[in-house]
Chain A
Amino acid sequence: MSASRRPNQLFRNLTAKIAAIPMILTASVVFVGGTAWTAIYSFTDSGLLPRGEFVGLKQYDRLWASNKWLISIENLFIYGVCTLVLSLVIGFVLAALLDQRIRFENTFRTIFLYPFALSFIVTGLVWQWLLNPQFGIQHVVRSMGWESFTFDPLYNPEIVIYGILIAGVWQGTGLVMCLMLAGLRGIDEDIWKAARIDGIPMWKTYLFIVIPMMRPVFITALVIIATGIVRVYDLVVAQTGGGPGIASEVPAKYVYDAMFLSQNLGQGFAASTMMLLAVIIVIVPWAYLEYGGKKRHV
């Protein structure tokens, strides 16, 4: 691409290299350097300030012995599995419904997608209000005559994570729907015609022909949802603050609390390294399937 061959490789395309300095710094210093730094310091006994005193796996031992961390992991697991399943299913069904050449498609799409424009803080606070047992849905149903009706997920440690799940799914399915709709629109018309001529019912066409064809879209959606799940933080802070007690803690909040509230940096580093590990477990197989063997990236 560059104009001519000049003797010195370093000065070839110099302006472009200078223009790319922010990227080079971000990639090498923040992304690679920062990640490596955190991983290394997770083996130290850093407290209020990072220190270079290596203590081996002690932070990890303490982490996995901590009740708060175990609850965080359990919550993340429940929240994660449910969010994945629900948003893929609901997202796909919504997209399929919108793909029926309906009237007001744009209106419906606008309605389903608008929560995605709102922050997790706003989402969390609205659902905190709706799920408020004194005034919210529970109160309304009770005042309609069903006196024993109980629906107070945010005040019940057993099910609090499902209360957060409702809000998270409300916020996020619009995005999945959009991805799925794009995938459905990419399916060849002739597939539908062929299925129709063969007399295959529509639900079967979706289930056995269209969905397998949309594998790449599903995988993209899966990766996006999964990375979002690991990061979930604001929603919990706004909706429950981790409560009641520590019943709705999540790993991202554990990291923040350890680093900035309880001055226990080492724990924060160890916990965030575990989060990184979780993401790697999701990403690497996907990257391998997507790009392995084939030409690299895009």
Chain B
Amino acid sequence: MSSTGAINIAGVSADASAEDLVGPRGARPRRALSRRNIMLYGTLFVIAVYYILPLYVMIVTSLKGMPEIRLGNIFAPPVEITFEPWVKAWSSACTGLNCEGLSRGFWNSVRITIPSIVLSIAIASVNGYALANWRFKGANLFFTILIVGAFIPYQVMLYPLVIILREMGLYGSLTGLVLVHAVFGMPILTLLFRNYFTSVPEELFKAARVDGAGFWGIYFKIMLPMSLPIFVVAMIIQVTGIWNDFLFGVVYTRPEYYPMTVQLNNIVNSVQGVKEYNVNMAATIITGLVPLIVYFASGKLFVRGIAAGAVKG
């Protein structure tokens, strides 16, 4: 239920004229500078400042030199802008003995995220399609287990997966981590695709069957081209989810394959040497940049992904 609601917001606010047709909502005649408006916008503004502040401080700190940080105030804009912390964070920040900067973590994350997205979406979309259009006996049982499984704390399944991966010879490798992401992405993505494919008119499916198309024919020629938006939503969920993952990265890979989040944590929380707060903040921004870009670029689709996450269960 909540999902359709959220999708409606996206639709309604996208189209202002449609909103006007719906008519006013409740007791709200508009006066520009009423007390109510001042209160309303004032409150929103104050809260917005609280939400923006950390991002602002992160950026400002990363552009200052260390002497300025020691003397000044974290909220003050930089007197002398320097990009050196960014360069250092990217290419020469240290974790213990290793001084390669974040770049290695970044490329590891890329090499983890892209195959994980492709694999998990391929599995989940075919699976959702099978569940929606080719129901077989027992399908609902496994699907229910899958959805319930989404609520089990990962810690319960951590070690059994270590054993499974070790038996397959994949423990510690990037491939192993990609498999783990595909497994844990399955519940939410399968639900997403299943619900979407269920809403496709059945006549279409039947017509294709009459014309002799089989399982894969219908999937590739009809379902796939029709459902590109839902693939984008799935991609957004997965990019942010996998890029931001820490636990699986630290458990299932060796240090040379650590994803960016793990490496960032090791750089910032390393106990050796003098703390360089500007480098730390630059590294933090660089790590957050990918999901932030995805977020700002995707706009309403991101909200739709959240709504999809909300109905899991």
Tell me the A residues contacting B by CB distance below 8 Å: 1-3, 9, 12-13, 15-17, 19-20, 22-24, 26-35, 37-39, 50, 94, 97-102, 105-106, 108-122, 125-130, 132, 135-137, 139-140, 143, 170, 174-175, 178-179, 181-183, 185-186, 189, 192-193, 195-196, 202, 205, 216-217, 220-221, 223-224, 227, 230-231, 233-234, 237-238, 241, 251-252, 255-256, 259-260, 265, 268-269, 271-273, 275-276, 279, 283, 287, 296-298
Query: What is the chain B residue whose CB lies nearest that of A253?
Result: B155
Among B124-147, those with CB < 8 Å from A are 126-127, 129-131, 133-137, 139-140, 142-147
Query: What is the chain A residue whose CB lies nearest that of B269?
Result: A241
Other contacts beyond A17-B136, A100-B28, A119-B261: 20, CB < 8 A: A1-B134, A13-B135, A19-B134, A23-B127, A23-B146, A38-B156, A38-B159, A98-B44, A101-B25, A105-B13, A118-B288, A127-B54, A129-B280, A130-B53, A170-B50, A179-B310, A185-B8, A238-B246, A255-B158, A297-B140
Q: Please give, as numbers and ranges, the residues of chain B lying within 8 Å of A125 by CB-CB distance.
A: 264-265, 268, 280, 284
Within the complex, the shortest CB–CB distance from A115 to chain B, in Å, comes to 7
Which segment, of B77-85, B169-177, B226-234, B289-297, faces chain A?
Answer: B289-297
Is the beta-carbon distance between B261 and A121 smaller than 8 angstroms? Answer: yes
Q: Please give, as numbers and ranges, the residues of chain A lying within 8 Å of B268 by CB-CB distance.
A: 125, 128, 238
Q: Does B274 contact A (CB under 8 A)?
A: no
Is the beta-carbon distance between B155 and A275 smaller than 8 angstroms? Answer: yes
Query: What is the chain A residue whose CB lies nearest that of B281?
Result: A129
Within the complex, the shortest CB–CB distance from B250 to chain A, in Å, comes to 8
Is the beta-carbon distance between B2 and A216 smaller than 8 angstroms? Answer: yes
Is the beta-carbon distance between B48 and A97 smaller than 8 angstroms? Answer: no
Is the beta-carbon distance between B40 and A100 smaller than 8 angstroms? Answer: yes
Q: Please give, as numbers and ranges, the residues of chain A lying within 8 Å of B221 by CB-CB distance.
A: none
Can you name 16 A-B residue pairings with CB atoms under 8 Å?
A: A22-B182, A31-B149, A38-B157, A101-B25, A122-B284, A122-B287, A125-B268, A130-B53, A139-B74, A182-B8, A183-B2, A185-B6, A220-B310, A223-B151, A260-B251, A297-B140
Is the beta-carbon distance between A35 and B152 smaller than 8 angstroms? Answer: yes
Q: Quick one: CB contact mask for B178-208 with A, threshold 8 Å, 1 for yes?
A: 0000110010001000010000000000000
Is the beta-carbon distance between A108 and B48 smaller than 8 angstroms? Answer: yes
How far, in angstroms, from A185 to B133 measured CA to CA in the complex?
A: 31
Within the complex, the shortest CB–CB distance from A35 to chain B, in Å, comes to 5
Is the beta-carbon distance between A170 and B51 smaller than 8 angstroms? Answer: yes
Query: What is the chain B residue whose CB lies nearest that of A235?
Result: B246
Is the beta-carbon distance between A272 and B73 smaller than 8 angstroms? Answer: no
Q: Does B18 contact A (CB under 8 A)?
A: no
How far, in angstroms, from A137 to B103 measured CA to CA in the complex?
A: 31
How far, in angstroms, from A38 to B144 measured CA to CA in the complex?
A: 21
Q: Please give, as numbers and ranges, the residues of chain A lying within 8 Å of B158 by CB-CB distance.
A: 255-256, 259, 272
Is the beta-carbon distance between A297 and B261 smaller than 8 angstroms? Answer: no
Q: Please give, as numbers and ranges, the residues of chain A lying within 8 Å of B75 by CB-CB distance.
A: 140
Is the beta-carbon distance between A12 and B136 smaller than 8 angstroms? Answer: yes
How far, in angstroms, from A193 to B25 measured CA to CA in the complex?
A: 8
Is the beta-carbon distance between A234 and B136 smaller than 8 angstroms? Answer: no
Q: Please give, as numbers and ranges, the residues of chain B lying within 8 Å of A33 by CB-CB distance.
A: 160
Q: Which 4 A-B pairs have the closest CB atoms?
A: A119-B244, A31-B149, A16-B134, A34-B160
Q: Please give, as numbers and ranges, the residues of chain B lying within 8 Å of A16 by CB-CB distance.
A: 130, 134-136, 139, 215
How far, in angstroms, from A123 to B285 measured CA to CA in the complex?
A: 10
- Asked whether A117 and B295 contact (CB < 8 A) given A19-B215, A112-B47, A279-B151, the answer is yes
Is the beta-carbon distance between B277 and A117 smaller than 8 angstroms? Answer: no
Q: Please give, as numbers and ranges, the residues of chain B lying within 8 Å of A135 by CB-CB distance.
A: 69-70, 74, 277
Query: What is the chain B residue whose CB lies nearest that of A36?
Result: B160
Within the complex, the shortest CB–CB distance from A179 to chain B, in Å, comes to 5
Q: Quick one: CB contact mask for B40-74 with A, threshold 8 Å, 1 for yes?
A: 11011001101111110110010000000110011
Is the beta-carbon distance between B159 and A50 smaller than 8 angstroms? Answer: yes
Q: Which of A35, A114, A205 contacts B157 (CB 8 A)?
A: A35
Q: Quick one: CB contact mask for B1-26 with A, threshold 8 Å, 1 for yes?
A: 11111101100110000000011111
Is the beta-carbon distance between B183 and A120 smaller than 8 angstroms? Answer: no
